[in-house]
């Protein structure tokens, strides 16, 4: 995605904007990704997915404290939202709130997680931070792999 304002924003649906945000984030265009999430949130009936993705982008762009400010209230309102919990745990880890991150990660309903498309994503997050504890390695923010379910409301819970 070239560094430019989003094209045809007026014609884009919330879901299309979230896809653009995801691609922009993976290309390192964090401000463009945040802009797409902001517009998507204004158009969505439920802001949860757009705000969750915005929190992930804030963490990936080195702003985990801002991500926490966004994700903590979302998680309190919707503790059943697995993707929100995963990105909150990751933001906690990057913000140095490791115990809180483990508490959030361990608090995800294991049965719901096993049935969700985010099972492997959660396992990778857990593995990365367990390894970091042992090896004191630098951990990179997780990115949903290409081909994974899109972060839309159908897969959020």
Burial of 3 (0-12, 13-18, 19+ CB in 10 A): exposed
Lowest mean pLDDT among 44-53, 84-93, 106-115: 44-53
Lowest mean pLDDT among 62-66, 112-116, 147-151: 147-151
Query: How crowded is the C-beta side of 115, counted as CA atoms within 13 Å?
Result: 6
Average pLDDT over residues 81-101: 95
Average pLDDT over residues 54-70: 96
**Residue 48: pLDDT above 50?**
yes
Q: What is the domain count for the chain?
A: 1
Q: Is residue 1 part of a domain?
A: no
pLDDT at 97: 95
Q: Is residue 126 part of a domain?
A: yes
pLDDT at 87: 96
Q: Is residue 153 part of a domain?
A: no
Helices (H), 6-81: 14-26, 30-43, 48-60, 64-77
pTM greater than the 0.85 cutoff: no
Structure confidence by residue, pLDDT tens digits, 109-148: 999 999 999 999 999 999 988 887 555 556 666 665 444 4
Cβ atoms of 156 and 84 closer than 8 Å: yes
Domain range holding 86? 9-138
**Residue 63: pLDDT above 70?**
yes
Q: What is the mean pLDDT of the chain?
A: 84
**Residue 157: pLDDT above 60?**
no
Identify the CATH number of the domain in which residue 77 sits.
Answer: 1.25.40.10
pLDDT at 62: 94
Q: Is residue 59 part of a domain?
A: yes
Q: Is residue 101 part of a domain?
A: yes
How many other C-beta atoms are found inside a 10 Å radius of the C-beta of residue 130? 11
């Amino acid at each position: 995605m070239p560094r430019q304002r989003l094209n045809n924003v007026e014609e884009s649906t919330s879901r299309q904007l979230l896809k653009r945000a995801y691609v922009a984030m993976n290309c390192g265009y964090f401000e463009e990704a945040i802009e797409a999430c902001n517009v998507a949130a204004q158009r969505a009936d439920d802001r949860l997915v757009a705000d969750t993705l915005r929190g992930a982008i804030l963490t990936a762009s080195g702003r985990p404290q801002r991500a926490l400010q966004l994700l903590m209230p979302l998680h309190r309102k919707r503790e059943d939202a697995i993707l929100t919990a995963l990105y909150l745990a990751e933001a906690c880890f990057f913000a140095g709130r490791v115990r809180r991150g483990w508490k959030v990660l361990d608090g995800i309903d294991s049965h719901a997680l096993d049935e969700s498309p985010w099972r492997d994503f959660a396992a990778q997050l857990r593995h990365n931070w367990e390894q970091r504890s042992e090896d004191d390695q630098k951990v990179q923010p997780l990115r949903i792999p290409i081909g994974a379910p899109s972060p839309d409301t159908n897969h959020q819970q």
